[in-house]
């Protein structure tokens, strides 16, 4: 019987769903949402905070500050509450209402950016706001998930080895690209594994991560308006871009089978299905699901929100997965 004294001490790291009956392809989905932060971001948040403590960067007077579209902010809020730190989450208008309310329930201060930066979009504006806060008071400590090596280091030490133990014959790994922490940590691990693993990054249409011009993105989680500093393209074998309408269709398809996942998971599953559909032989394939879907009930799973942004036919169309 597990007994814990801090919320970050619990994380279910070895649950997989066989999606073949849903997608028509042999695909296993690694579920990362079963912890008190509700997402895979708990791993990076824990690693970054613990490293800052070891390096003497944090004291009880410190105020943690971070730019986040949602999930990392929740994970840092939870850890800050557990450890007695103040935390300021700088997010933007795309952040789900449920996520903002959860951040506040955990005692965090939430700054919502509504005006994009001319060159960096809303992400650039969030980062500018964080830098401005840090310039006003030396108590602010910015962990900077976009450049912090503990972001990808957490997945090199935890996520990738867990997959390797569960699937010793792994052929292909599908990973969503946000800050690219999960992507880079897993890709680095499997680069030196006992057998070659094909690394496929799944990105959102409208993302600038892999060199495309930035465009509108309404679902938080994956994609960036600025190329992530952590990204090393040499570790990535393929990239699949997924339209947000297909993300929504896949989320609803999974929900119709009883699995309610977040937007990032819908994107990853759809991209994985697209990639697998172009192959003529079966492979052992795993995709990573970053979070669950309860925080998306006001957006991805709300018909009027979907119809207003993507048209009346989105939910009547058959998903590409």
pLDDT band of residue 312 (cuts 50, 70, 90) is confident
Range with the lowest mean pLDDT among 1-5, 52-56, 283-287?
A: 1-5
pLDDT of residue 320: 46
- Segment 91-109, tens digit of pLDDT: 998 888 999 999 999 999 9
Q: Same domain for 161 and 263? A: yes
Query: What's the predicted TM-score (pTM) here?
Result: 0.94
pLDDT of 234: 97
The label of the residue with tokens 């700088």 reads 90
What does the alpha-carbon distance between residue 57 and residue 139 come to, in Å, rounded to a whole number?
A: 10
Task: Establish if 72 belongs to a structural domain.
Answer: yes
| 109 within a domain of the structure (yes/no) | yes
- Containing H/E element for 305? helix 303-310
At residue 25, does pLDDT exceed 90?
yes
The reported pLDDT for the residue numbered 318 is: 56
285 domain-assigned: yes
Q: Is residue 75 part of a domain?
A: yes
- Burial degree of 132 (CB within 10 A; 0-12, 13-18, 19+): exposed
Question: 7 pLDDT exceeds 90?
Answer: yes
Q: 321 CB contacts (<8 Å, ≥6 apart)?
A: 22, 23, 246, 249, 250, 253, 269, 270, 273, 274
Sheet with 63-67: strands ordered across: 109-113, 86-92, 63-67, 140-142
Q: Which domain does 77 fall in, by range?
A: 41-142
CATH of the domain at 242: 3.40.50.1100
Among 98, 117, 142, identify where a domain stops: 142
DSSP 63: E
* Total count of domains within the chain: 2
225-265 tens-digit pLDDT: 889 999 999 999 999 999 999 999 999 999 999 999 999 99
Residue 99: inside a domain: yes
Tell whether the model's pLDDT for residue 219 goes beyond 70: yes
Euclidean distance between CA atoms 134 and 166, whole angstroms: 43
Looking at the fold, whether 165 and 285 belong to one and the same domain comes out as yes
Same domain, 59 and 105: yes
Identify whether residues 18 and 78 lie together within a single domain: no
Q: Is residue 124 a part of any domain in this protein?
A: yes
pLDDT band with cut points at 50, 70 and 90 for residue 317 = low
Nearest to 230 by CA among 186, 188, 264, 184: 184
CA 72-75-77 angle, 5° bins:
105
**Distance of alpha carbon 166 from alpha carbon 278, whole angstroms:** 25
Mean of all residue pLDDT scores within the chain: 94
For residues 116 and 231, membership in a common domain is answered with no
Cα–Cα–Cα angle for 229, 152, 232, rounded to 5 degrees: 40
Out of 86, 108, 142, pick the residue that ends a domain: 142
Same domain, 217 and 309: yes
The last residue of one of the domains, among 142, 174, 195, is 142
Is 320 contained in some domain?
Answer: no
Is there a single domain that holds both residue 163 and residue 291? yes
pLDDT at 307: 93
**One domain, residues 71 and 109:** yes
- C-alpha to C-alpha distance for 260 and 44, rounded to whole angstroms: 23
């Amino acid at each position: 019987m597990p007994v814990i004294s801090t919320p970050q001490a619990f994380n279910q790291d070895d649950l997989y769903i066989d999606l073949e009956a849903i997608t028509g392809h042999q695909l296993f989905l690694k579920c990362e949402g079963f912890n008190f932060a509700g997402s895979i971001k708990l791993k990076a948040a824990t690693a970054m905070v613990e490293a800052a403590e070891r390096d003497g960067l944090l004291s009880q007077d410190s105020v943690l500050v971070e730019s986040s579209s949602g999930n990392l902010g929740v994970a840092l809020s939870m850890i800050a509450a557990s450890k007695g730190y103040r935390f300021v989450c700088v997010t933007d208008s795309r952040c789900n209402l449920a996520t903002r309310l959860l951040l506040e329930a955990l005692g965090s201060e939430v700054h919502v950016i509504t005006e994009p930066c001319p060159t960096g979009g809303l992400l650039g504006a969030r980062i500018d706001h964080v830098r401005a806060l840090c310039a006003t008071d030396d108590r602010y400590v910015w962990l900077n998930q976009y450049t912090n090596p503990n972001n990808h280091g957490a997945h090199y030490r935890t996520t990738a080895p867990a997959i390797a133990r569960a699937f010793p014959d792994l052929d292909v790994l599908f990973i969503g690209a946000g800050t690219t922490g999960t992507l880079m940590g897993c890709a680095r691990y499997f680069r030196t594994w006992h057998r070659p693993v094909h690394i496929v990054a799944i990105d959102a249409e409208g993302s600038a991560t892999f060199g495309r011009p930035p465009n509108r993105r309404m679902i938080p989680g994956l994609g960036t308006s600025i190329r992530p500093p952590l990204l090393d393209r040499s570790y990535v074998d393929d990239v699949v871009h997924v339209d947000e309408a297909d993300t929504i269709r896949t989320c609803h398809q999974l929900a119709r089978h009883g699995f309610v996942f977040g937007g990032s998971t819908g994107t990853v599953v759809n991209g994985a299905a697209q990639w697998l559909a172009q192959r003529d032989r079966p492979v052992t394939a795993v995709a990573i699901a970053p979070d669950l879907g309860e925080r998306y009930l006001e957006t991805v799973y709300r018909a009027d929100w979907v119809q207003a942004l993507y048209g009346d036919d989105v939910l009547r169309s058959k998903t590409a997965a």
